[in-house]
Amino acid sequence: MTEVSVAKEDLVPTGELVVLKSVNKHFGALHVLQDIDLTIARGEVVVVIGPSGSGKSTLCRTINRLETVDSGSIAIDGKPLPQEGKELARLRADVGMVFQSFNLFAHKTVLENVVLGQIKVRKADRKKAEEKARTLLDRVGVSTQADKYPAQLSGGQQQRVAIARALAMDPKVMLFDEPTSALDPEMINEVLEVMQQLARDGMTMIVVTHEMGFARSAANRVVFMADGRIVEEAAPDQFFSNPRSDRAKDFLSKIL
Ligand code: ADP
Ligand code: MG
């Protein structure tokens, strides 16, 4: 894997980047996010864990406004997320998202997958967009795959392309929703390594994952959710060795 150190102006943590205040969200009668207060500092890596159905994906989806909220507020880098409009599209581009399923454009080459958003959303010119795409593909270790189509790549390679594609938009924060859950076991580490490197490079990251090794080594903080609430937050060492809530103890006893 190639290591490229990124020249990012915001390597130095300078305060709050993502701020959720009293966020509530229902799906019909189901209160899926309940009074969520969450502040993520620039450069911080937060791992979100919790039982299936606890609201982790919905939390991610509200942060880039794939879902609306019923009440409360979400701000990215000091700017409140509007409910709709042009401003929303611009702010949404500040939030990179990587899903469990890789969601690459099947009929575009790997290179095009990383080029397209830059041209359409960021209005970059093609030559610059291609240069940047090649640099990013190199950074995630798939530069030799640039002219192939997604289906010709392994799952781990596809997910690394998805990460490169998200990074191409120069996001301020990256959201990962179970990025390794759909991968064959032998491909999990190659994706986690790219994420580790991104964390070391200073990217602000929110990562929903069951990979506790990643949480221990890369996270500044673990957020434990159950039934739509943040039940517990702590540094990884503290959380794993000494969970305070019964819900967290119960959850950890099942997965560790
Ligand atoms: P997690 O990611 O922690 O497994 P989710 O955020 O996906 O949890 O889901 C939380 C709850 O909301 C679950 O009970 C799920 O079935 C429900 N849910 C998620 N998305 C929708 C939707 N679009 N419509 C109705 N219910 C939903
Ligand atoms: Mg989920």
Ligand 2 centroid to Cα of residue 8, in Å, is 30
| Residue with CA at minimum distance from ligand 1 atom 24 | 27
Which tens digits make up the pLDDT trace of 183-211? 999 999 999 999 999 999 999 999 999 99
User: From CA 98, how far away is CA 120, in angstroms rounded?
Assistant: 19
Q: What is the pLDDT of residue 209?
A: 97
Residue of 24, 30, 66, 210 to mutate, ligand 1, most atoms within 8 A of C-beta: 30
From the CA of 28, give the closest atom in ligand 1: 25
Give ipTM to 2 decimals: 0.98
User: From CA 155, how far away is CA 188, in angstroms rounded?
Assistant: 9
Q: What is the pLDDT of residue 14?
A: 56
Answer whether 56 contacts ligand 1 (Cβ < 6 A).
yes
167 CB-contact burial (10 Å; exposed 0-12 / middle 13-18 / buried 19+): buried
Between 180 and 15, the higher pLDDT residue: 180
Assess whether pLDDT exceeds 60 at residue 109: yes
Residues with Cβ within 8 Å of residue 154, at least 6 apart in sequence: 184, 187
Answer whether 55 contacts ligand 1 (Cβ < 6 A).
yes
Which tens digits make up the pLDDT trace of 69-85? 999 999 999 888 877 77
Answer whether 72 contacts ligand 1 (Cβ < 6 A).
no
pLDDT averaged over every residue in the chain:
92
Q: What is the pLDDT of residue 82?
A: 79
Please tell me the pTM assigned to this model.
0.92
Assess whether pLDDT exceeds 90 at residue 10: no
| Residue with CA at minimum distance from ligand 1 atom 23 | 27
103 CB-contact burial (10 Å; exposed 0-12 / middle 13-18 / buried 19+): middle
Ligand 1 centroid to Cα of residue 59, in Å, is 10
Residue of 58, 59, 70 to mutate, ligand 1, most atoms within 8 A of C-beta: 58
Q: What is the pLDDT of residue 12?
A: 47
The beta-carbon contacts of 246-251 under 8 Å, at least 24 apart in sequence, are 248/224, 251/49, 251/50, 251/51, 251/224, 251/226
Answer whether 53 contacts ligand 1 (Cβ < 6 A).
yes
